[in-house]
Amino acid sequence: MCGIVAYKGQKDCFPILLDGLKKLEYRGYDSAGVACLVNNKIDITKRAGKVKELERAIAGKKSSKNCNGLGIAHTRWATHGEPNQKNAHPHSDESKKITLVHNGIIENYDPIKKFLRSKKIKFKSDTDTEVLVQLIGYFYNKGMLSFEQSVRAALQRVDGAYGIVILNTDFPDMMIAARKGSPLVVGIKDGEFFIGSDVSPIVKHTQKIIYLNDSEMAVIDGTNYEIKSVDKDVSLPKKVEKIDYKIDDFDKGKFKYFMHKEIHEQVTTIHNTLKGRSTKSSVLLHGLSEYWEEIKAAEKIYITACGTSWHAGLIGKNLIERFAEVPVHVEYASEFRYNHSIMDNKTIVIAISQSGETADTLAAISKANDFGAITIGICNVAGSSVSRETNCGIHTRCGHEIGVASTKAFTSQISILYLFALKLADSRKRITKTDMKKHLEMISDVHQKDIKSVLKKEKSIKKMAKKYQNASDFLYLGRGLNFPVALEGALKLKEISYIHAEGYPAAEMKHGPIALVDKNMPNVFIVPKDKTYDKIISNIEEIKSRKGKIIIVTDSKDKILRDLSDDLILLPKTNQYMFVMLATIALQLFSYFIAVAKGCDVDQPRNLAKSVTVE
């Protein structure tokens, strides 16, 4: 949550920082602020709301032409204190010498604040962040500790998570960054330094990156830098990595919203996820090779994740149990981390995460590691914390996902889980060579034309969406592999259009939710022509007889479905695995067009952030 960008070099900071904030806005957009060193004083500008408000404020300032090449900036997702200007970052200590931006939560802010108040230090905001900067200032201003020592002393006293970048007017050529629990990366380019809470504000300037680990700090002084430990004053060896993100990844192209672009990208992203990962007779997942003997002997698998990634986990459970016959438990990471799960070194824990930085998922991994389980990460961001903290893993390779609502990451996660289930089944001799071949043929022919044909239905889906834009509640109903698709359809709708929606197994609807149904209630049924078909028809009849509106997503041309439905999205005929993808894409478009029709901010829905890096 929250985005940090910082610059140290010779150029004017403002354009670099504002551009960086725009790239990071997907992490939170409650307020934005910048602090730069101007004539050896800290010049702070902050505004409630989005980066464009800050940009307007800066455009009207004289100082914007006069910045010495040292600046920090932040876009906020509010945790402690309302999302107003007073609570916006950066925050300074009382002496105004020390200023910082912070991601994460300082959990013991209350006793520290009481202590600092007892020393007559006054606070201006309601944030936990101000407590941290005041604590650094308290140590520094006593005159006993250097700048770096003061940062270290304060960080050793705080509990919780932080990614911070700090300036001190006494050291106009210096910048310190530190992390614990909240990611920070440092970009390096011939005497210039760029710091970001991820690579998005950096890649335009340099592809040479250092990923800070927990309890590490970067001390930048002039054109030199050192990576050190937060715990003691020692230098740490550090590898500079070369990343290959394309700048295009961060542009909307011809689309108005990233979400729309990302839905369309699935024509290629699913293909990219699967590419090179199978032969005609076997699945290759090189990222798991080192641990495959243990994985194949697993007695139990946990899948843990949050939100959309958790829905992918439910599909994974179905596939793994079906093909490989290993029991799979799927748990929300926020629950898993505190549950009494029974794990040992014969347990596999698969953590799924688009961002690779979700705090609950990371805590779940850490718990599994402590139990000695083998941890596997299925993650989209190479170099992210999930990739680094699991024993082994597979990248989904679907490119940067910027729209807050996850779309292309979900279909890529399912693709990986499909491959994993087949590989496990093969190693455990639970699948015949002929069946394996059939699945792999399906995988190699990734049905790009089928995805395209769903995308071509945009116009009719848009028309349908307009018809339902004023509904206040929706039910999404599916069975088997398509129950998670129903959950995901409902989640997409509620997060971007603010319409209440619930996903249910189609038959379970009788056990309560049916009480909600009346003539105004749209019910979205996901109906593949498979063994559940007849049963779902009965479920549709049950709703129809209560006058509920029926929307059907199907690959069947049967007349009965047309007769039963108020609206119908007909998908191309493929197979049950591809159906899941196609139905998901159709429902993503449906939610998208409802949200657009309602005038919602699709890429940045209220109260949300892309990367949930707090518990």
* Minimum CB distance to ligand F6R smaller for 352 or for 425: 352
State yes or no: residue 266 binds ligand F6R (CB under 6 A).
no
Catalytic (active-site) positions = 2, 610
Mapped onto helix, strand or coil, the DSSP state of residue 350 is strand
Which candidate, 85, 83, 96, places its Cα nearest to that of 29? 83
Which listed residue (154, 288, 306, 362) binds ligand F6R by CB under 6 A? 306
Binding residues for ligand F6R restricted to 472-491, rule: CB under 6 A: 491
Which listed residue (99, 308, 387, 556) binds ligand F6R by CB under 6 A? 308
State yes or no: residue 354 binds ligand F6R (CB under 6 A).
yes
Binding residues for ligand F6R restricted to 48-107, rule: CB under 6 A: none
Stretch touching ligand F6R by CB under 6 A, among 60-68, 301-309, 422-430, 553-561: 301-309
Closest contact distance (angstroms) between CB of 223 and ligand F6R is 35
- Count CA atoms within 13 Å of residue 300 on its CB side: 12
Helix (H) or strand (E) holding 188: strand 185-189
Q: How far is CA 24 from CA 73, 156, 213, in A?
A: 10, 28, 20
Stretch touching ligand F6R by CB under 6 A, among 72-80, 267-275, 305-313, 321-329: 305-313
Does the CA dihedral 188-192-198-201 come out positive or negative?
A: negative
State yes or no: residue 309 binds ligand F6R (CB under 6 A).
yes
- Separation between Cα atoms, residue 237 and residue 226, nearest integer Å: 9
Which candidate, 130, 158, 1, places its Cα nearest to that of 74? 1
* Minimum CB distance to ligand F6R smaller for 334 or for 347: 334
State yes or no: residue 355 binds ligand F6R (CB under 6 A).
yes
Stretch touching ligand F6R by CB under 6 A, among 53-61, 83-91, 350-358, 506-514: 350-358
Nearest residue to ligand F6R by CB is: 307
Stretch touching ligand F6R by CB under 6 A, among 94-102, 163-171, 351-359, 465-473: 351-359
* Minimum CB distance to ligand F6R smaller for 380 or for 574: 380
Q: How far is CA 382 from CA 4, 199, 540, in A?
A: 19, 11, 43
- Separation between Cα atoms, residue 113 and residue 110, nearest integer Å: 5
Mapped onto helix, strand or coil, the DSSP state of residue 541 is helix
CA 381 centroid distance within chain: 9
Closest contact distance (angstroms) between CB of 609 and ligand F6R is 9
Question: How many residues sit close enough to ligand F6R to count as binding (CB under 6 A)?
Answer: 14
Q: How many CB atoms lie within 10 A of CB 601?
A: 13
State yes or no: residue 1 binds ligand F6R (CB under 6 A).
no
State yes or no: residue 405 binds ligand F6R (CB under 6 A).
yes
Q: Can you read off the two tokens belonging to residue 355?
A: 């961002």
Contact indicator for 388, 366 with CB cutoff of 8 Å? no
Contact indicator for 212, 179 with CB cutoff of 8 Å? yes
- Separation between Cα atoms, residue 47 and residue 160, nearest integer Å: 26
Residues 6+ apart with CB under 8 A from 463: none
* Minimum CB distance to ligand F6R smaller for 199 or for 405: 405
Stretch touching ligand F6R by CB under 6 A, among 19-27, 349-357, 423-431, 510-518: 349-357
State yes or no: residue 45 binds ligand F6R (CB under 6 A).
no
Q: What x-and-dash track marks residues 555-594 binding ligand F6R by CB under 6 A?
A: ----------------------------------------
For the chain, the farthest-separated pair of C-alpha atoms sits apart, in whole angstroms, at 83
State yes or no: residue 353 binds ligand F6R (CB under 6 A).
yes
* Minimum CB distance to ligand F6R smaller for 569 or for 609: 609
Which listed residue (129, 358, 565, 584) binds ligand F6R by CB under 6 A? 358
- Separation between Cα atoms, residue 141 and residue 143, nearest integer Å: 5
Closest contact distance (angstroms) between CB of 582 and ligand F6R is 19
List the Cα angle 405/406/412 in 5-degree steps.
165
Which listed residue (31, 103, 127, 361) binds ligand F6R by CB under 6 A? 361
* Minimum CB distance to ligand F6R smaller for 94 or for 401: 401
Full DSSP string of 236-264: ---PPEE----GGGG--TT-SSHHHHHHH
Contact indicator for 34, 54 with CB cutoff of 8 Å? yes
Closest contact distance (angstroms) between CB of 408 and ligand F6R is 11
Q: What x-and-dash track marks residues 487-516 binding ligand F6R by CB under 6 A?
A: ----x---x---------------------
State yes or no: residue 168 binds ligand F6R (CB under 6 A).
no
Which candidate, 554, 575, 320, 325, places its Cα nearest to that of 439? 575
State yes or no: residue 307 binds ligand F6R (CB under 6 A).
yes
**Site residues, ligand F6R (CB under 6 A):** 306-309, 353-355, 358, 361, 405-406, 491, 495, 612
